[in-house]
A and B are shown apart, each in its own frame.
Chain A
Amino acid sequence: MSAVEPVTLEEMQSLVGRRFPGGSARVERWENFLLHEVVGMTLPPDGRIHPIGLFHVPLAACGWSYAEIFEICRAESDEAVRAGEYEWVLHGDVLEGVDFDITGEFISVDRKKGRSVGEFDRVTFRLDMAERASGEPIATVTNTWLFIRSTP
């Protein structure tokens, strides 16, 4: 990865406050059935989406692809990205067949050093999910991803 252009902490911290383009999402029953199947649970009859949908549904509708987020965060390769921390706060029921609007922004960037991976940037962004019809907030998802820097 010697060809990778080094990125300064100041450049990375300029991401803070940058907003995601945003978008909309809807989970149909078939997808919810499959999500429950993946984690070995029975589909409930009440239309509630399995909470693991909060991993990908807001991200899929945030207006950027994973590749674009990696590029914005100056990832040196796919292997140089690690999942850090995930936090979900549910304000209401996440239901099948409901349209949600997704908005988001980068909220923090720190540079740290780990024993095994060396220097890395800890990038945190928040995605807010609201029911389109009512505007009511449904969930807030805060993701922290780690971007390993091989170039000092």
Chain B
Amino acid sequence: MTNDAQTWRAWLTSERPASRRQARLGRAYAAWSRFADNRLAMAGLFIILALLLVAAFADVIAPYSAVTDGDLRTARLLAPSAEHWFGTDDQGRDIFARLVHGSRITLFVVILVAVIAAPVGLLIGTVAGYAGGWVDAVLMRITDIFLAFPRLVLALAFVAALGPGIVNAVIAIAITSWPPYARIARAETLTLRHADYISAVRLMGASPARIVARHIMPLCVSSVIVRVTLDMAGIILTAAGLGFLGLGAQPPSPEWGAMIASGRRFVLDQWWVAAAPGVAIFIVSLGFNLLGDGLRDALDPKAAGQ
């Protein structure tokens, strides 16, 4: 067994890889071991994995239904106790159950926004940075217009136009989220495009599209990913902000942001109604942040310092 493992490790960490695949896997392994050494990053990973598990097994974990159980007259705004670990909300529903089911929605929101906003931002940023000239100017103007907009106004407007519901809210948030990624990607591209090896590839006859797609983008991906994970908390809170203004998840959906928004009326006396989802959001954001930091340290060793 150990012999096998040792030969694998030797193969991955070899200083003279025999094939491109070996080199790529070797780099990935090196990044992973740097990541694994970072305890905080592992904590972040652990939190995210826990989130995934909770979301997957929500039905099993939650002791009550998130939507139907709860008596308005008798079970309203109960303090945390043995029957209700995090107490009940203003409709008598168990908060812990709602938190657990809400994790699915949180994951959904976060993944969808990342999947929409990051690639869009990356594409626009790298194309703008590499092409330069009027392409750059036009794309950056479009980016500026989106950036210049009061973010909540834009999100509000889109949600109002598209109709209520969590999916539309997600699209609205994504549409307002991509500009920073575009700027980051463009900034990186600007510094990269004069590098020697880019010039070399260009001399070899690669088309601009190929250069951008296969050489520049991969180098920008890591910083965009890092930025995306750091933005996760902001995304969840923007969804909460939309809920605050009445245009987020549809009731009785146990979306964490909506739970905070509706719990704010009780913040002074029944603090647990807003505190529970607040703590949940905090832990998940913490996890994403630690993960993001760890990724950045692992993927770009120079930035990690001595």
A and B held together in a complex: no
Residues of A within 8 A of B (CB): none
